[in-house]
Amino acid sequence: MGMIKMQFSGDNPSILSSRFWTKVLLMTLAIFITCYLFSVASVTNIWSALLAAIVISLLNSFIKPILVMFSMPLMVISLGMFNLVINAFIVLFADYILGSRFEVNGFFDAILFSIIITIIAFLLEIPEKIRQTKKKIEDAMNGGASGFNKREQAFDEYNEHVDDGGFADYEDLTDKEKEDKKDKE
């Protein structure tokens, strides 16, 4: 029997991957910018923002999938909006863990903080997404050319077969049969 692999979180890379740490750095910038521009949360310095980003990323990797699994009925009923509540609990838990280095003013500020962080992190991640998409397109173009060459080679082999007296399609078969009947008469 095959194993079934379930992934509850959408875009959480492995903790050991460079992509995870890139996302942590982007989240650090997003947290620092959010705390600087808005009064929903505060950090003492950039290192506290980095620590908050690490804690939130780890909580998103380990705790969030469990919370999503247990709240699946609420997620379905709310059409995914309950995810905001889960994000708020993650932010509040990070606030509790980090103490005075990272503080959120309350539950609704935690919801607003998670929304703002998501938007800013998305905006900061756009250049990387563009680079990845460009690379995929270039790989597809390079791989597509070899695929095109294989199709072209198969077409050439088919045409060689037809040129050697093979039949190209149904009409040729019937024409050949008609010629054979005329020769027999």
Q: How far apart (Å, rounded) are the C-alpha atoms in residues 30 and 47?
A: 13
* From 14-28, 70-84, 86-100, 102-116, the region with the lowest mean pLDDT: 14-28
Contacts of 53 (CB under 8 A, 6+ apart): 24, 25, 27, 28, 30, 31
Helix, strand or coil, per DSSP, at residue 42 = strand
**Average pLDDT estimate for 166-177:** 52
DSSP 103-136: EE--HHHHHHHHHHHHHHHHHHHHHHHHHHHHHH
Please state the φ and ψ torsions of residue 114, each to the nearest 5 degrees. -65, -35
Rounded to two decimals, what is the model's pTM?
0.64
- Residue 6: per-residue pLDDT: 41
- Residue 5: per-residue pLDDT: 44
**Average pLDDT estimate for 16-34:** 86
How does pLDDT run across 93-143, given as a tens digit for each residue? 999 999 899 999 999 999 999 999 989 888 888 888 898 899 889 888 887
* From 74-83, 137-146, 176-185, the region with the lowest mean pLDDT: 176-185
- Residue 72: per-residue pLDDT: 92
- Residue 173: per-residue pLDDT: 47
* From 1-15, 71-85, 133-147, the region with the lowest mean pLDDT: 1-15
pLDDT bucket at 8, cuts 50 / 70 / 90:
very low
How does pLDDT run across 28-71, given as a tens digit for each residue? 999 999 999 988 899 999 999 999 999 999 998 889 999 999 99
pLDDT at 152 over 50: yes
Q: How far apart (Å, rounded) are the C-alpha atoms in residues 100 and 120?
A: 23
Q: How far apart (Å, rounded) are the C-alpha atoms in residues 178 and 185?
A: 11
